[in-house]
Amino acid sequence: MQTDQQRRQYLQAMVIQTWLLRRPESRCLEEAPISENVDIHQANQVVSALEQPVVATDWHGLQAEVSVCRRCDLCQQRNQTVFGVGNPDADLLVVGEAPGAEEDAQGEPFVGASGKLLNQMLLAIGLKRENVYIANIVKCRPTDDRDPRAAEVAACEHYLKQQIALIQPKIIFAVGRIAAQNLLKSDQKVGDMRGQKFEYGDSRISLVVSYHPAYLLRMPSAKRKAWQDLLFARQVLNSK
Ligand code: URA
């Protein structure tokens, strides 16, 4: 059980004031909409990805398959694939965007500065990193930490789908535009998707959208909204 003092400490670590501000919230920049530019090279990558055999249906087989994946060009620059981390029976699945440099070096998602903030966000609603599952839309680091391209997302999509089918979480917490837009097949802004309970695919798993921790590090004024999103996610989880 988490004490109020612990919760305050986690919230302080997130640099969230635990009382309501009287002044109006400062306006934050929203994350930009997804690019619709898909070139012929990307299209060819999608076609070749779709021609590949179906992904493994068991956890270890899936992990092994991802570790040697060459479905898109991201395999050329990576140090290693980043499958995911946490409890494969978790009630809550966090989905981020893509590994960065530290994740690529360690083979684990969200281990850099964003990861530290994500851990604190989870603790603030009483969840330890090891008790949830954390995965990304793509399993390899895009060079220079650019957004993953549509073809790369398409090439990797079956892996995450299969992870979700095996974990069967009660709720998916999608952090950031890339995760939210790709999971929901939407081009809405994160700011417009927040505060709603969506359903993911045919499984109709509840899905809640929030800001990416990296965005929160750049825009600390958005942390209050992220805290509201976490409370909403907790409420949805508690209702299951
Ligand atoms: N950002 C993400 O979206 N995922 C990671 O694993 C690390 C940073």
Share of the chain above pLDDT 70, in %: 78
Q: How far is the CA of 96 from the centre of ligand 1 (A)?
A: 5
Q: Which domains does the chain have, with CATH numbers?
A: 4-51 (no CATH), 81-238 (3.40.470.10)
Q: Which pLDDT does position 145 carry in this prediction?
A: 86
The answer, yes or no, to whether residue 84 has pLDDT greater than 70, is yes
Residue nearest to atom 7 of ligand 1 (CA): 110
Ligand 1 centroid to Cα of residue 44, in Å, is: 26
Q: Which residue has the tokens 């956890």?
A: 59
Q: Report residue 134: phi and psi, to 5°.
A: -125, 125
Atom of ligand 1 nearest to the CA of 108: 6
The predicted model gives 114-131 an average pLDDT of 97
Q: Compare 67 and 39 and report the one with higher pLDDT.
A: 67
pLDDT in tens, 150-189: 999 999 999 999 999 999 999 999 999 999 999 999 999 9
The pLDDT value given to residue 29 = 28
| Mean local confidence (pLDDT), 46-53 | 55
pLDDT of residue 45: 54
Using a 6 Å cutoff on CB, does residue 119 contact ligand 1? no
Q: Give pTM, 2 decimals.
A: 0.83
